[in-house]
Structure 1
Amino acid sequence: MNEAKLVHVEGREIRITHPDKVLFPDISMTKWDWILHLTHLAPWILPYARDRYLTTIRWPDGVGSESFYQKNIPSHAPDWVTSVQSGNVRYILLQDTPTLIWLANLACLEYHLSFDTASFPDQPTEIVFDIDPSVEGFERVMETALLTREALLELGLDGVVKTSGATGLQIYVPIRQGYRFEQTRRISRFLAEYLAGQRPDLITLERKVKKRGEKVYFDYLQHWRGKSLIAPYSTRARPGAPVSTPLRWSELKPSLTPQAFTLNTIHQRLTSIQDPFRAVTDPDHRFNLDDILDFLDRKQKD
């Protein structure tokens, strides 16, 4: 039996097709199981996702099958799904749980979000660094993330770290409204070049994988208009159903592995700790970049 199911979420009726289809074969997780997980994760996904341009990646036949990106809202979307035009794309805005569940029915296994919002386009809400290993292993990634935090603290900043849901870590530094991508790029490039200069044995800014050797790639270029990054608490279409999970800095220890954070473990975690990502979505917890930009201006003149 694989009959469609009708569900009612916050006053919306959503038809779940092929609920018994297996989306994560290695753990035998069906679409219905996965949708139940997402329903429970919605209160943690939505605070950051709302009002951001959404890009999804769909796997109609599950992990291991063919996939495709979707930016434009489908023509068959219900009229209650919010969308907004930006350039040549009409993006979905992930505003509520019904929209999340409707997208889940389309087998959107990954949710990637812009760095700015539809209300304030071209004004990033944070500076973001994406830290990825070039070879297998997580300890060098953690070391790079901790060095990054030390440098941020010296600049009077701080950030929240989360797993990418794959093999890396990502750091979010919440900033006050009004800065442009060109301004945040100046700061992120300065920090990236400083870290690579301090630890050339560990960190590289080289984009080509074959030229990185065993060094950790410090990606500051992904943070830009029109680009996106995996949403906090989004699943990744990988074996085990991993989840991009915000962490406490104290958790970055040798025993930590990104494989520990999956759909089957995330709910217990969220009942036992306060969400670390609240520091990013808190409007009263945002850093002023003026002094750093003034410093960079003086440095450029010298």
Structure 2
Amino acid sequence: MKGLLRIEGHDIVVTNPDKPLWPEVGITKAMYLQKLTALSPFLLRYTSNRLLTTIRYPHGAAGESFYQKNAPQPRPSFVQTAVHEKINYVLLNGLPELLWLGNLAALEFHPSLHAAGSTLPCEWMIDLDPTLPEEPRIMEAASLVGELLRSLGIQSVPKTSGATGVQIIVPIEAGLTFEELRSAGQFLAQYVSQKHPELFTVERLKKHRGNKIYFDYLQHYSGRTLAAPYTPRARPGATVSTPLTWEEVNRNVSPSSYHLLNIEERLQEKGDLLSLLPPQPLAPLLGHLRKKQT
């Protein structure tokens, strides 16, 4: 069984529209494409002109999956790509591309932290990664990092990863480097892990972390990816990576609270929390770190 979508002048064939993708919540491929359409004004802000990695689940979220970096073949003429380190990545710039990938059962969208053709980061992403499968302290950890940033004059937006973790996003002025962001991240990571050694760790090897939350400051490199704001995740309940308010973090909201069945209502109510925050002043912190290194 096939269907046909006409989007912005492009025809997109939809195969098996009734295929269950998240059967436990009743989401079929046709419903998924509807949800992607609703998410697109928000999601595409953070994927446009970036190197895209998708995770595809041909048999639904509970089935086997594979990461796809090289652009799938065959692909429509409207899909733009960019080569980086010999990989030809999709540039997820518009709704036709998004629905084409959705029809291929791409359930997660992980863009690079930099634009195609650039070596500079688009934002500062602080990644808090729990070691435990269920981590009741993740919002407490996020709150502590947010408070530390505020003490340094830096505002930020927390977001659920859509899985178990939290990322804290700081908009930045153009021109900062990945090396500078790693330096700032290392400073924060060491500070909170020394002040709260029962909660945070900078240990990279999971088997050596115990039950602590990993403060990953090493994520900032060219070509690396993180789950995009507003990407669905192939998790039970069809969770969505969702920006939060700090009030929600302090109320210990669950990372599973936001999903494909309620995200539209949330976005209508709150809009894009990330877009409301201007670039933050990192120069004082970076200047302090440079002085310490000399």
Common fold by TM > 0.5: yes
1:14: which partner in 2?
12
1:253: which partner in 2?
250
Please give the secondary structure, in 1, of the residue aligned with 2:186. Answer: helix
Q: Please tell me the residue identity of whatever aligns with 2:91.
A: L
User: Could you report, residue by residue, the CA deviation over 1:113-139 in whole angstroms, capped at 9, with x for unpaired residues?
Assistant: 1111015x1100111111122225444
Q: Which stretch has the larger CA shift, 200-209 or 15-24?
A: 200-209
Which of 102, 105, 108 is matched with 2:103 structurally? Answer: 105
2:271: which partner in 1?
274
1:206: which partner in 2?
203
Q: Which stretch has the larger CA shift, 132-141 or 63-72?
A: 132-141
1:83: which partner in 2?
81
Q: Please tell me the residue identity of whatever aligns with 2:188.
A: L
5+ long unaligned stretches in structure 1: none
* TM-score, scaled to structure 1: 0.93
1:168: which partner in 2?
165
> 1:290-301 maps to which residues of 2 (within 5 A)?
290-301=283-294
* TM-score, scaled to structure 2: 0.96
User: Could you report, residue by residue, the CA deviation over 1:41-80 in whole angstroms, capped at 9, with x for unpaired residues?
Assistant: 1111111211111000001111221111111112311111
2:25: which partner in 1?
27
Does structure 2 conserve the Cα–Cα contact (< 8 Å) formed by 1:39 and 1:101? yes
2:240: which partner in 1?
243
Once the two structures are TM-superposed, the CA of residue 290 in structure 1 deviates from its matched residue by 2.8
Does structure 1 conserve the Cα–Cα contact (< 8 Å) formed by 2:56 and 2:104? yes
Alignment pair present for 1:146 and 2:135: no
Q: Which stretch has the larger CA shift, 138-147 or 262-271?
A: 138-147
Query: 1: distance between equivalents of 2:66 and 2:27?
Result: 20
2:127: which partner in 1?
130
Does structure 1 conserve the Cα–Cα contact (< 8 Å) formed by 2:128 and 2:166? yes
2:113: which partner in 1?
115
Query: 1: distance between equivalents of 2:227 and 2:35?
Result: 17
Once the two structures are TM-superposed, the CA of residue 154 in structure 1 deviates from its matched residue by 2.1
Q: Which stretch has the larger CA shift, 258-267 or 287-296?
A: 287-296
Query: 2: distance between equivalents of 1:128 and 1:82?
Result: 26
Does structure 2 conserve the Cα–Cα contact (< 8 Å) formed by 1:138 and 1:257? no
Does structure 2 conserve the Cα–Cα contact (< 8 Å) formed by 1:188 and 1:220? yes
Residues 137, 64 of structure 1: alpha-carbon distance in 2 compared, 3 angstrom cutoff: closer
Does structure 2 conserve the Cα–Cα contact (< 8 Å) formed by 1:21 and 1:31? yes
2:191: which partner in 1?
194
Does structure 1 conserve the Cα–Cα contact (< 8 Å) formed by 2:57 and 2:63? yes
Please give the secondary structure, in 2, of the residue aligned with 1:230. Answer: coil
1:4: which partner in 2?
2
Which of 180, 185, 192 is matched with 2:182 structurally? Answer: 185
User: Could you report, residue by residue, the CA deviation over 1:146-169 in whole angstroms, capped at 9, with x for unpaired residues?
Assistant: 111111122221211100001111
Does structure 2 conserve the Cα–Cα contact (< 8 Å) formed by 1:158 and 1:173? yes
User: Could you report, residue by residue, the CA deviation over 1:92-124 in whole angstroms, capped at 9, with x for unpaired residues?
Assistant: 1110000000000100000001111015x1100
Query: 1: distance between equivalents of 2:137 and 2:26?
Result: 32
Percent of residue pairs identical: 45
User: Could you report, residue by residue, the CA deviation over 1:243-301 in whole angstroms, capped at 9, with x for unpaired residues?
Assistant: 00011111113451112111011111112123212136xxxx11243332221121122
Q: Which stretch has the larger CA shift, 6-15 or 266-275?
A: 266-275
Once the two structures are TM-superposed, the CA of residue 34 in structure 1 deviates from its matched residue by 0.7
Once the two structures are TM-superposed, the CA of residue 215 in structure 1 deviates from its matched residue by 1.5
Q: CA RMSD in A?
A: 1.4
Query: 2: distance between equivalents of 1:253 and 1:286?
Result: 24
